[in-house]
Amino acid sequence: MNCASRTTLFLTALGAFASAASAERAYARPEAFTKLINCRAIADKDQRLACYDAAAGALEDAEKKKDLVVVDRKEIRETKNSLFGFALPKIGLFGDDGKDDEKDAISEIASTVDVARVIGNGNWSLRLAGDAGTWETISAITVAPRSGDKVRIKKASLGSYLGQVGMNRGVRFRRVQ
C-alpha cells in the first residue's frame, strides 16, 4: 500500500469516526411529562382525572426537587443572549432535536460600555451593561472607549467576533466572562 492510499484510508476512517462521535442523541421527553400526556388516552373520565392529578403532582414534585426544569421560549432567548460569545457544546437544551431553532439564534448583540480598562498594546477589556458580559478587543483600537459608548458585536467567520465600540469600527472581540 503506497503513502497516498494509506493517507486516503486514514482520512476516510477519521471522517467516519468523527461522524459517529458527533451524532446527537434523539430527544426524549422526561418520563413525568410523558405520563401526563398519556393520560389523554384514558376513556373513562374519572380514571383520566385521577391520572392527570397523579401526573401533575409528580411533575410538581420533580420541579421542586430540580429533577425537571420548565422554561418558555422567552427564557430560552434571554439565556442564549446572555451566553452569546461563549463556545458551548451542543447538548440539546434549547431544542427538541438538539439543534438551535433558527428564529431564536443569536448572531449579534448591542449594548453599552459599563466599564473600560486598557489591557495593553491598544487592546481593551470592556464590561458591557446588562447580561452582555465582559469582552476583550483583540485588535488595537484608536479611540479609547468610555462608559456609555455603544457596542455592537456580531458573529464573524471561523468562530470569531467583529464589531464596533464607540467611534472604532472593525474591532475584533473575544468574550472572557
Q: What is the pTM of this model?
A: 0.55
* 161-165/150-155 β-pairing: antiparallel
Provide the b/e sequence for 1-12 (b: ≥16 CB within 10 Å).
Answer: eeeeeeeeeeee
Q: Is residue 58 included in any domain, yes or no?
A: yes
Residue 63 sits in which domain range? 1-70
Q: Is residue 92 included in any domain, yes or no?
A: no
How confident is the model at residue 89, as a pLDDT? 62
Whether 64 and 127 map to the same domain: the answer is no
How confident is the model at residue 90, as a pLDDT? 62
Whether 10 and 56 map to the same domain: the answer is yes
Q: Is residue 101 included in any domain, yes or no?
A: no
CA distances from 79 to 11, 93, 96, 156, 170 (A): 38, 11, 16, 21, 27
How confident is the model at residue 52, as a pLDDT? 92
How many angstroms separate the CA atoms of 15 and 76, rounded?
A: 33
How confident is the model at residue 99, as a pLDDT? 53
Strand partners, 13: none
How confident is the model at residue 11, as a pLDDT? 39
Q: Is residue 121 included in any domain, yes or no?
A: yes
Whether 65 and 116 map to the same domain: the answer is no
Whether 1 and 66 map to the same domain: the answer is yes
How confident is the model at residue 94, as a pLDDT? 56
Whether 65 and 118 map to the same domain: the answer is no
Whether 112 and 171 map to the same domain: the answer is yes
Whether 14 and 66 map to the same domain: the answer is yes
The total number of structural domains that make up the chain: 2
How many angstroms separate the CA atoms of 94 and 105, rounded?
A: 10
Question: Where among 70, 93, 128 does a domain terminate?
Answer: 70
Q: Is residue 3 included in any domain, yes or no?
A: yes
Of 93, 146, 97, 94, the closest CA to residue 118 belongs to 146
Residues of the chain with pLDDT under 70: 1-27, 87-105
Question: Where among 19, 41, 70 does a domain terminate?
Answer: 70
Whether 62 and 3 map to the same domain: the answer is yes
How confident is the model at residue 133, as a pLDDT? 87
How confident is the model at residue 54, as a pLDDT? 93
Say which residues have a Cβ less than 8 Å from residue 16's Cβ, sequence separation at least 6: none
| Residue 36 grid cell | 401526563
Q: Is residue 33 included in any domain, yes or no?
A: yes
Q: Is residue 44 included in any domain, yes or no?
A: yes
